[in-house]
Chain A
Amino acid sequence: MAENFNQHSDISAADLTRLSQEAKAEATPSTARIIWDEFKADKPALVALVVVVGFIAFVMIASLFIDTPKMMETNIMNYFDRPGTNGLWLGADSGGRSVAQQLIVGSRNSIGIAIGLTVISSTFGICWGLISGYYNGYVDWGMQRVYDFMMMLPMTMMIIVLVTIIPHYNAITLTLIFSIFYWEGTSRLIRSRTLAESEKDYVAASKTSGTSNLKIIFREIMPNISSLIIVDTTLSFAENIGVETGLSYLGFGLPTQTPSLGTMIANANDPNNITQYWWTWLPAALEIIILCLSISYIGQVIRRAADSSQRQGAAD
């Protein structure tokens, strides 16, 4: 058979290296390159990116130098110290504990859980959406009924009930519990795009090329919705910061001895704290706001990069 091709084409093995080199010179820029160009063109986005990445790196590293059990010990001497006194930059809370240190460790915990939750729930939601959308029919019908059921559950209540049932929960079990309830939005978005994508001829062409269904789903269709996936994951990350902190605020997230941005904001539940000792909770609240806004802003820029008609950076 190979002879047949050799016979009808002048190209032979001798030309191989030369031709592939020529072709490489003509190759198009990658998606990562396009997104990076977009960031370089949008200064506020670059600032947001630096703030988020820098901040996350800072709390991850700085928290390594803080002895958490010691930090959480009560220190009567520093009871409600104002910011700036006794060498405490952000003051101290009712137990005389440093707010700044708690903020660093709490950020690490809250961001860590948000990252874990985003990874688990997005992966699950993406797979669910892809499979449900691709296998149109009974598989999809069944998966849709499970989706409907999950949507009906009152999420916050279910999480609280589960948290009280599990006796010795920690950050990991907590992340897993959250993940049960936070994949639906992603899966719905991915499913509707997959439905449209599966109708296209390149999927049919892959089928006639002998490619297996799983390979078609993850190697053919998934790259085509990758920009949607990146944008959705970024936005979910911003949203997920609110999940753990919200439940910790209610008292059903991380245990009280483990600082979290949510437990710090819960200081505001005391009418005295909220007005008189504002430094115990306000920094944590502001931090959440800045983080969420920056991450969402990054998501918007990536969305713009993905949509070639709106690009501001130099591309193509």
Chain B
Amino acid sequence: MWKTILRRILIMIPEVIILSILVFLLAKAMPGDPFTGSINPKADPAQIHHLMKINGLYDPWYQQYWNWVVHLFHGNLGQSYQYQEPVTRLIAGRATNTLWLALVTMVLTYAMALPMGVFAGRHEGKLPDTVIRVYTYVTYCIPFFVILVLGIWVFGYVLGWFPTTGSIATDANGWLQTIGSRFYHILLPAILGALFGTVNIVQYLRSEVIDAKHSDYVRTARAKGVPSKDIYRHHIFRNSLLPIAAFAGYSITGLLNGSIFTETVFSYPGMGLLFINSISYRDYTVITALVLIYGILNLLGTLLSDIILSVVDPRIRIE
């Protein structure tokens, strides 16, 4: 198994290198430069020229790329032109928000999906199963951002149960209030994200349970007189647990992609919203850093899932 993991990591290296070059070149190709008009509307061209020069923006691209990579390895992602702050520190603050949101979403996803999947599988073809299937079908079809907009409209504005903007209330004092307020702000976006994320797990678990119900070992257990609650807990659920854990890694891609929409709709100051703002300001040190971070997180997510799956299923290891 260690060989598989090592091999996967080795394959990742060229992928990350190609991604970094691609991202760097794309950022270079973006029109405009960060200085024109953004520092001071009256800045004279000579001064901009000077700024461009000391920032190395006139060097050939591979020179700039190399400098960028060298800085990268020193943990220096450059300076945000828009916020006048080191990118590393800027992103670190935003990343915490995004990661908390992702974590709560993931926990809620599993908390909702596991019982639903088992329940639907147990009562296959009956009313609860039909209801759950309609639910997965609806959440699967509707675009995520539409769910978000409807969610914030109903629960945020019309009913007023949840805050509609920001990550913390301005008047929160003390650590208890701070944590409470943060959690309160995360809750609605996380619930909506979880609604959207349950589909795969519910469907997988449901079909696992249905398959297992008809398998020989479950029939044997039943014939021996094992209570059906124990059958589901020990024989069926435990078997599908690891593959379901593997979904966590794959869902990172979806969560990150979704964070751009979630954070825009809820004006939640995370990496996704930072990206959208940076695009408008052509703040490409931030843009490159964010795309790179998202790409690497995607890779790590798939790696995590593949490792879990290779533990479960030896056939994947050989492949």
A-to-B contact residues, CB < 8 Å: 145, 148-149, 151-158, 160-162, 164-165, 167, 238, 241-242, 245-246, 249-250, 252, 265, 268-269, 271, 274-275, 278, 281, 285, 288-289, 292-293, 295-296, 300
Contact = CB atoms under 8 A, between A and B. Distances in A.
A56 B264 CA distance: 30
B141 A246 contact: no
A51 B223 CA distance: 51
Contact of B145 (A160, A165, A249): A249
Counting chain A CB atoms within 10 Å of each CB, the highest count among B143, B287, B302 belongs to B143
A156 B157 contact: no
B30 A165 contact: yes
A241 B145 CA distance: 12
Given A157-B260, A157-B291, A167-B31, A292 B141 contact: yes
A278 B27 CA distance: 38
A169 B257 CA distance: 23
Contacts of A145: 11
Contact of B143 (A151, A157, A165, A288): A288
Contacts of B291: 154, 157-158, 161
Nearest to B297: A154
Contacts of A151: 253, 298, 302
B185 to A, nearest CB: 16
B100 interface: no
A275 B157 contact: yes
26 contacts: A149-B18, A152-B295, A153-B295, A154-B256, A154-B295, A156-B257, A157-B275, A157-B291, A157-B294, A160-B276, A161-B27, A164-B31, A167-B31, A238-B141, A242-B142, A242-B143, A246-B145, A249-B145, A250-B264, A265-B146, A268-B153, A271-B164, A274-B157, A289-B146, A292-B143, A296-B140
Interface string B278-311: 0100000001001100110011001000000000
A271 B157 contact: yes
A288 B18 CA distance: 37
A285 B294 contact: no
Nearest to B26: A161
A268 B146 CA distance: 10
A265 B261 contact: no
B92 interface: no
Contacts of B146: 242, 245, 265, 285, 288-289
A158 B19 CA distance: 11
B10 interface: no
3 closest A-B pairs (Cβ-Cβ)?
A242-B143, A154-B294, A292-B141
Contact of A296 (B137, B152, B294): B137
Interface string B86-98: 0000000000000
A293 B142 CA distance: 7
Contacts of A167: 31
A154 to B, nearest CB: 4
A177 to B, nearest CB: 12
Nearest to B27: A161
A109 to B, nearest CB: 16
A156 B261 CA distance: 9
Interface of A (DSSP majority class): helix
B127 interface: no
Interface string B107-131: 0000000000000000000000000
Contacts of B312: none
B149 interface: yes
B29 interface: yes
A300 B134 CA distance: 12
Contact of A165 (B29, B261, B290, B294): B29
A153 B16 CA distance: 10
Counting chain B CB atoms within 10 Å of each CB, the highest count among A161, A252, A275, A278 belongs to A161
A76 B197 CA distance: 43
Interface string B251-264: 00100110011001
B47 to A, nearest CB: 26
B307 to A, nearest CB: 15
B184 interface: no
A295 B143 CA distance: 13
A132 B233 CA distance: 41
A149 B164 CA distance: 36
B232 interface: no
B74 to A, nearest CB: 24
Contacts of B157: 271, 274-275
Contacts of A285: 146, 149-150
Nearest to A145: B11
Counting chain A CB atoms within 10 Å of each CB, the highest count among B144, B146, B153, B253 belongs to B146
A242 B149 contact: no
Contacts of A156: 257, 260-261
Contacts of B141: 238, 292-293, 295-296
Contacts of A275: 153, 157-158
Interface in B133-171: 137-138, 140-146, 149-150, 152-153, 157-158, 164
A152 B140 contact: no
A269 B149 CA distance: 8
B143 A160 contact: no
Contact of B30 (A161, A269, A293): A161
A83 B309 CA distance: 55
Contacts of A268: 149, 153
Contacts of B138: 293
Given A148-B11, A165-B31, A292-B141, A265 B298 contact: no
